[in-house]
């Protein structure tokens, strides 16, 4: 090496060591055991989790800074992650960033580099071999099969954005048991280790006795087959009683309740059939569930009609320390107020950012990376927006299976199929849930493995195509950096709580 280059590198090394001696390396990471709601926070087909397979890096291998994305949190701290891998996020201080700079330009790994912090940075993709991103593949780990059980089409509310005609159709006990048999057959044949059942409608609490019988049967099947079972009831909350809550707890069932705003913001979207608002009853049901030890996950549908009320709603939810997920309105043929609900970009961004300010003021302990912006999931990388066509089944009241609950009137197979999931996976008609790698406008995006291109049905309705980016792309991109900023602030706030944050600070 030329003398002037050697001197420059030595000067840079000395400067770096002085900075790091005054301010030791510190890295904050979300603890894998951090308080989380059981299962995914979503009201439809949750994305399948994936893992990034990184090539082995041995002594002598060239090591360099990967395609890093930095998000400034405070003058001292930045979030850092590799968007092409999506394998993890770390909050690093200035000394940690100086260490990363030591590998720019790339250089061979030395024995002195085999430290815990360097290995950690290699492990999550902050440091890697040059040009290795092109070799990395996200491999699905399909451990869970999700199934939607449509107990009834009937409902006591008339929500403005509902996609169901509310016909008087109920599933029978015989058909319900046949549905569960079919779900477990597919799970066993395809090697799933866990089944997640979503009891829905309509309003499933209208069929509460049947719900109890079906879930008790599902528990028997899970025990016979040696599978884990997770169950959740998706309800509007208006029919909930203390006795129901006690029964749900005994059955180890979780509860998700829809709440779209406070007062009129909710009432405008989710009135009773008579036209009377339902907010007061829903709010009372949520407080009742909390009182009896079953805090519900709050599902919020956000659109042009209620986004301005979102900050007040977040105040209400966070005051009760409840998990929640924010879902953008998805247009459908039966939406009565589709014009009011449409997602005006400026209005949506302004309202969502105001809601984020509320979160910043009352930062929760639990991570919200899986449910803060529509279908985006920052807690795990994924190539598909949701599990539709992958690891998800939707059964209507007649035992017919569809790909998505919004296409429940377009079944593809039924309970008599030996493996309904195989039929769903093989079907080439209807909704097509493509990999983000196949979507025009997504391949080079740094957010691709968290966003995965948005809801395919929303995209198709707006463009007539499944292989393009979401019409909400500009909204997403304006909000994603703020999600990372909030997560960085959460890690800083709870850095002294080992249940929430893992801290690495080498001596």
Mean pLDDT of 438-463: 91
Model pLDDT, residue 281: 98
Joined together, the tokens standing for residue 89 give: 């996020």
Between these two residues, 470 and 126, which has the higher pLDDT value?
Answer: 470
> Could you tell me how far CA 250 lies from the centroid of its own chain?
27
d(CA 126, CA 81): 6
- Token pair, residue 315, equals 């105040």
What values do phi and psi take at 47, rounded to 5? Answer: -65, 145
Identify the pLDDT of residue 39. 43
Mean pLDDT across 439-457: 91
308: helix, coil or strand?
helix
Give tens-digit pLDDT for 190-246: 999 999 999 999 999 999 999 999 999 999 999 999 999 999 999 999 999 999 999
Distance CA 172, CA 499 (A): 44
Q: Are 82 and 126 in contact (CB under 8 A)?
A: yes
pLDDT digits (tens, 9 = 90+) for 18-74: 544 567 888 888 876 544 444 445 666 666 555 555 555 555 566 667 667 888 999
Q: pLDDT at position 24, please?
A: 87
Name residues whose C-beta falls within 8 Å of residue 36's C-beta, 6 or more positions apart in sequence: 366, 367
What are residue 69's DSSP bridge partners?
81
Which domains, ranges and CATH numbers included, belong to the chain? 19-139+499-504 (no CATH), 141-489 (3.20.20.70)
CA 330, CA 332: separation in Å to the nearest integer? 7
* Collapsed DSSP state (helix, strand, coil) of residue 80: strand
Alpha-carbon gap, residue 365 to 379, rounded angstroms: 15
CA gap 216, 211 in Å, rounded: 8
Q: Which of 12-16, 351-355, 441-445 has the lowest mean pLDDT?
A: 12-16
297 within 8 A of 324, measured Cβ to Cβ = yes
- Counting Cα atoms < 13 Å in the Cβ hemisphere of 160 gives 25
Averaged pLDDT of the chain = 86
What confidence tens digit (pLDDT) does each residue in 395-405 have? Answer: 999 999 999 99
> In this structure, what token pair is assigned to residue 165?
């005609």
- Please state which of the ranges 236-245, 369-378, 403-412 shows the lowest mean pLDDT: 369-378
Torsion of CA 294, 406, 372, 257, to 10 degrees: -20
**What value does the CA radius of gyration of the chain take, rounded to a whole number of Å?**
24
Q: Which of 87, 77, 79 is nearest to 53 (CA)?
A: 87
**CB-side neighbour CA atoms (13 Å) of 299:** 19
Residue 394: how many other CB atoms lie within 10 Å: 27
Better pLDDT: 2 or 171 = 171
Q: What is the DSSP letter of 472?
A: T
Q: What is the pLDDT of residue 58?
A: 58
Least confident of 18-32, 121-135, 274-288, 442-456: 121-135
- Residue 325: band (very low, low, confident or very high) from pLDDT cuts 50, 70, 90: very high
How high is the pLDDT of residue 331? 81
Tokens of 350: 């302004």
Angle at 297 between CA 294 and CA 303, to 5 degrees: 150
Predicted confidence at residue 146, as pLDDT, reads: 97
CB 386 within 8 A of CB 370: no
């Amino acid at each position: 090496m030329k003398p002037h280059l050697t001197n420059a590198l030595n000067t840079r090394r000395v400067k770096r060591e002085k900075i790091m001696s005054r301010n030791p390396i510190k890295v904050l990471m979300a603890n894998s055991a951090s308080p989380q709601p059981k299962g995914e926070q979503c009201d439809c087909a949750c994305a399948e989790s994936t893992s990034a397979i990184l090539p082995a890096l041995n002594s002598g291998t060239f090591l360099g800074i990967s395609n890093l994305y930095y998000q400034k949190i405070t003058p001292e701290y930045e979030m850092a992650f590799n968007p092409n891998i999506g394998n993890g996020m770390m909050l690093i201080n200035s000394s940690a960033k100086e260490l990363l700079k030591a590998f720019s330009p790339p250089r061979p790994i030395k024995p002195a580099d085999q430290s815990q912090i360097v290995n950690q940075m290699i492990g999550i993709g902050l440091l890697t071999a040059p040009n290795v991103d092109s070799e990395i593949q996200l491999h699905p780990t399909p451990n869970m099969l999700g199934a939607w059980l449509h107990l009834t089409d009937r409902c006591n509310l008339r929500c403005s954005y509902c996609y169901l005609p509310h016909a008087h159709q109920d599933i029978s006990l015989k058909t319900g048991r046949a549905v569960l048999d079919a779900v477990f057959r597919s799970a066993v044949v395809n090697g799933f280790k866990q089944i997640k059942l979503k009891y829905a409608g309509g309003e499933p609490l209208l069929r509460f006795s049947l719900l109890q019988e079906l879930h008790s049967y599902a528990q028997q099947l899970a025990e016979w087959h040696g599978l884990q079972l997770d169950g959740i009831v998706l309800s509007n909350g208006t029919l909930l009683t203390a006795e129901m809550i006690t029964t749900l707890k005994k059955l180890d069932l979780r509860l998700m309740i829809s709440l779209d705003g406070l007062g009129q913001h909710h009432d405008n979207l989710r009135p009773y059939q008579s036209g009377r608002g339902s907010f007061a009853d829903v709010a009372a049901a949520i407080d009742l569930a909390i009182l009896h030890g079953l805090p519900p996950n709050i599902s919020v549908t956000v659109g042009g009609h209620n986004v301005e009320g979102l900050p007040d709603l977040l105040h209400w939810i966070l005051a009760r320390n409840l998990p929640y997920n924010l879902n953008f309105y998805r247009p459908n043929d039966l939406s009565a107020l589709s014009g009011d609900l449409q997602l005006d970009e400026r209005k949506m961004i302004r309202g969502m950012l105001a809601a984020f300010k509320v979160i910043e003021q009352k930062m929760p302990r639990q991570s919200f990376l899986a449910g803060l912006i529509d279908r985006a999931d920052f807690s795990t990388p994924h190539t598909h927006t949701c599990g539709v066509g992958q690891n998800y089944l939707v059964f209507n009241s007649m035992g017919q299976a569809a790909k998505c609950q919004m296409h429940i009137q377009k079944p593809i197979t039924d309970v008599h199929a030996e493996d309904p999931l195989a039929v769903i996976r093989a079907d080439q008609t209807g909704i097509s849930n493509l990999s983000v790698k196949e979507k025009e406008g997504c391949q080079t995006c740094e957010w691709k493995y968290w966003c995965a291109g948005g809801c395919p049905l929303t995209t198709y309705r707006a463009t007539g195509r499944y292989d393009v980016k979401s019409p909400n792309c500009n909204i997403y991109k304006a909000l994603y950096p703020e999600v990372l900023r909030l997560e960085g602030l959460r890690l800083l706030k709870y850095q002294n709580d080992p249940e929430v944050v893992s801290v690495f600070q080498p001596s």
